[in-house]
Amino acid sequence: MTILTDGTKPIYVQIAEWIETEILNGQFEADQKVYSQYQLAEMYTINPATAAKGLNLLVDENILYKKRGLGMFVSTGAKEMIINKRKSQTLKRLVQEIVLEANRLQISETELIEMIKTAQFEEGGR
């Protein structure tokens, strides 16, 4: 993952989202240890406090849990929590943006649905 420093999204949020994506991709399973703040800081050349803020964001959402002296671990059910969160927040926002843009461009519902089906087919065919 590349950390973007253009100010559009805080670095700690990017770290949290990257760990979530790793969990979704099966890189981290329930009760498996994730990277420490120091490992993340070294990997992305960022301040360890910034990395810790990203990890703690996931702890606050119960996606990760702390074992004192051992580090951060993936919570049971984390994958489902991430899926639900992204469906209700990220995907909903993206769909709203797409529908607004389609309306501005006077794209019909049928045409928009066809575009989505085509994109889904192309992504699945990779």
User: What is the domain count for the chain?
Assistant: 2
CA 54 – CA 50 distance, rounded (Å): 7
Q: Are 54 and 14 contacting, i.e. CB atoms less than 8 angstroms apart? A: yes
- Give me the percent of the chain exceeding a pLDDT of 90: 76
Give 77-90 pLDDT, tens digit per residue.
999 999 999 888 88
Q: pTM of the full predicted structure?
A: 0.74
pLDDT (mean) for 31-55: 95
Based on the domain organization, do 83 and 72 belong to the same domain?
no
Based on the domain organization, do 67 and 84 belong to the same domain?
no
What pLDDT does residue 50 have? 96
Where is pLDDT greater, at 82 or 7?
Answer: 82
CA 126 – CA 88 distance, rounded (Å): 27
Which domain CATH number covers 43?
A: 1.10.10.10
CA 56 – CA 103 distance, rounded (Å): 39
CA 62 – CA 56 distance, rounded (Å): 9
Q: Which helix (H) or strand (E) holds 66?
A: strand 64-67
Q: What is the mean pLDDT of the chain?
A: 91
What pLDDT does residue 93 have? 87
Based on the domain organization, do 60 and 19 belong to the same domain?
yes
Q: How many helices (H) and strands (E) does the chain have?
A: 6, 2
**Structural domain harbouring 41:** 11-76
Residue 124's pLDDT band, with cuts at 50, 70 and 90, is low
